Structure 1
Amino acid sequence: MMIKIIKKTIILSSLCSLFTVPAILADNNKLESLTPSTNIIEEPFTLDDTQPKRLKITVNIYSPEDIQVKEGEIIKKGDIISDRTLLRKNLENQLRSTKLALNNIKSSKVLEPIRPIPTPPIQNLPPANFAQEEAQVETAELEYVQAQRAYSLALENDPFISIKAKVNHQQTEVEEAIKEVQKQGQKTASIAMINNLPPEVMEHEKYKLGQKQSELSKQQANFDLTQAELKQVQENRIIELQNLQDKVNSARAKLELANAKLRKAKSDRSLLEYNHSINTTIRIEEANQAQIAYNRQLQEYQQQVRDKEYKITQLTDSVSNLEDKLKQIAVVKSPYSGQIKKIKYENQTDNTIKVEITLVPDNEK
């Protein structure tokens, strides 16, 4: 039987690309890409054989845990020899965390700010009206002018003219009567000194003297009565002028009070207009501040919406990348049934460990 020596070399390769995880998975950022290669070298076999005598399988791994077989272990065709368990677990953990973060962000709500309620405008003040106060001032001014006029007329009108003339006239009559009495008395005294004067003459003169004295008494009584009337008129005059003066003072006080009320009404109106202006300004400022706050909150809301959409996009891409990376992780399976003869760790480059696994198929056991 002719034996033909054939040597086969099968090279299997897979590539794991670099990936970036979201910020929430920063603890896994230390994972680096690995481009492993798996070489299976079959030693010579004959055409009558269906299996090689010995296979040397070279794999690149992250850690010894990636080797799923042990020296001396009997395996079957299709059993896993090498699997990047740590990388797979890390990627699966990242995928779960990323999906959880994605679901949390999708379920989170960004509350839209409430538009500020329009501030009701302050009603305008009614037109200023001082008609009542001004009417009171006009009435008080009229009463004051009338009181002054009455007082002035009273001062100009002299009620003593006639009675003073009467007093003066009666005083003159009294003085004349006194003179007549004195004259008659002197005459009577002179006649009394004349000797041998008939008694009738003396009696006549005495009678005349009595008449003169009676006339004087009458004139004096009239004069006293007129003086009493003058005194009464003077007292009445004083009372009248005092009453008129009191009316002037009262009218003046009433006018001053009316003017004070008018000034107060205008002052109150000015204060009311000032407060209205202040309140209007405050209301406008409050409305402006509310609108500014709403605009700021609206901008923040829009930014939060954009951030949410951006994060959803990022996390969605991360989920896709992680799923792709999981699909791309190479799993080395045994092409034959047999026994693991030897596991040799050859060298390490960066994070990659090169391992040579020797498999003896069943026909060489």
Structure 2
Amino acid sequence: MLSFSAYQFVGSSKPPAVTAQQSPITQVTAPVTAPQQQGRLHKMTLQISEPNDLKVKIGDHISAAQIVADQDNERKRLNLRKEELQLAIKRIENQKISLPQKATDPSKPKPAPPMMPLPDISYQQYEAMIEKANNEAKQQEEIINLKRRELDYLKGIAGLDSAIIEHEINKLSILENKLKSDKTEIDLEVGKLLSAKEKRKQDEYQHQLNLAHRIEEENQAFSFYQKQIAENQTNYQRAISTFEKESRDKDYQFTQLKIQLSAVEDSIAHLAVIRSPYNGKIRRIKFTGQIDNKLGVEISIITDGSGSTTSSAPTNSPTTSSNPIVPSGTTTTSD
């Protein structure tokens, strides 16, 4: 990067002050002076960023309007940076950010068909059998009571054959056994009734369990349905947030790149070219020191007497620089 602050000339006894103004295209205009006598010494004082910015060396013959210093490296660097920024801006412009689409909500679960209720149950058959067995037992008891009274009557008859009494006793025993069998049948029928009722209770309990399980499945299906809807909404909102963030980032990057490109173009536009105002020969180049990372240079020119010309030095390309070459003014004094 090259930066020039001022240049001075020493030659005449009446130094005319000439100020070089910078145009938007960084055109540097050399001062117009009267023809110079041969052998007069003039000095140019300027500031550069690096020695390579100087385009002349000791012993060079130069003519008016010939380039003395230029920022070639800085101009190349800025032009390369400009191309990089333009490519980056083009990439940003071509970057597509699609608006997310909301996912389709799932179908609402259909309700399960209702469970059939348990069929009605009747215990009449069991109760009828019990009632029948009870009646038979009562009849058997009545028969036994009659047989006992008959046996008591026969025992009271004097001289009755004992075989008859023994026979009647056997009949009574048979009747009593029959009564026991009838009572057992009653217990059996009662047991069947109790078993039927217990089974009904179990069936009703299982039916309630199945009904509760069916309701739980329906609730789970509906809960899953609501969860999917909520997840779709959450994912959509997250996608919208990402889209908005990417859009903001894109706009921010685009704006920053535009700002950088404008700064680079502005720096290119302010790059200046320093030209010699006289014909002559470079007698001496002296580095006078360094200030703010810039090298001070004093160039001594011996004119050849052919005079000076007015020249302009527009820059060849639009580049940018933070420290453009800006000649602040020129003066001439006699040697």
Shift of residue 247, structure 1, vs aligned partner? 1.9
Of the two, which has the highest radius of gyration?
Answer: 1
The aligned counterpart of 1:254 is 196
Higher relative contact order structure (alpha carbons within 8 Å, sequence separation ≥ 6)? 2
Residues 92-121 of structure 1: CA deviation (Å, up to 9, x unaligned): 343244234334434444465453341332
The aligned counterpart of 2:70 is 83
CA distance in 1, matches of 2:190, 2:287: 132
The aligned counterpart of 2:282 is 340
Gap change, CA 1:345 and 1:364, over 3 Å in 2: farther
Q: Which amino acid aligns with 2:60?
A: E
CA distance in 2, matches of 1:57, 1:334: 9
Contact 1:53 1:364 in 2 (8 A): no
Contact 1:91 1:322 in 2 (8 A): yes
CA distance in 1, matches of 2:34, 2:297: 22
Write out aligned runs for 1:1-365 (5 A). Answer: 8-14=16-22, 45=35, 55-110=42-97, 112-113=99-100, 115-132=102-119, 135=120, 138-139=121-122, 141-155=123-137, 157-162=138-143, 164-178=145-159, 216-217=160-161, 220-363=162-305
- The secondary structure found in structure 2 opposite 1:355 is strand
Shift of residue 323, structure 1, vs aligned partner? 1.8
- The secondary structure found in structure 1 opposite 2:157 is helix
Q: Which amino acid aligns with 1:57?
A: M
Gap change, CA 1:171 and 1:44, over 3 Å in 2: closer
CA distance in 2, matches of 1:148, 1:346: 137
- The secondary structure found in structure 2 opposite 1:342 is strand
Contact 1:40 1:58 in 2 (8 A): no
Structure 2, unmatched stretches of 5+, are 1-12, 308-335
Structure 1, unmatched stretches of 5+, are 17-35, 179-215
CA distance in 2, matches of 1:45, 1:77: 12
Residues 76-105 of structure 1: CA deviation (Å, up to 9, x unaligned): 554321112343244234324423433443
Name the count of aligned residue pairs: 294
Q: Which amino acid aligns with 1:239?
A: S
Contact 1:342 1:358 in 2 (8 A): yes
Identical-pair percentage: 20
RMSD: 3.7
Q: Which amino acid aligns with 2:153?
A: T
- The secondary structure found in structure 2 opposite 1:131 is coil
- The secondary structure found in structure 2 opposite 1:123 is coil
Residues 7-38 of structure 1: CA deviation (Å, up to 9, x unaligned): 6544324389xxxxxxxxxxxxxxxxxxx998
Contact 1:60 1:354 in 2 (8 A): yes
Gap change, CA 1:61 and 1:116, over 3 Å in 2: same
Shift of residue 328, structure 1, vs aligned partner? 1.9
Q: Which amino acid aligns with 2:227?
A: E
* TM-score (normalised: structure 2): 0.71
* TM-score (normalised: structure 1): 0.66
Shift of residue 299, structure 1, vs aligned partner? 0.9
After superposing on structure 2, the runs of 4+ consecutive aligned residues of structure 1 that deviate more than 6 Å are 36-39
Residues 115-164 of structure 1: CA deviation (Å, up to 9, x unaligned): 334133232233343233xx2xx22x444443444444445x23242454
- The secondary structure found in structure 1 opposite 2:285 is strand
CA distance in 2, matches of 1:116, 1:52: 89
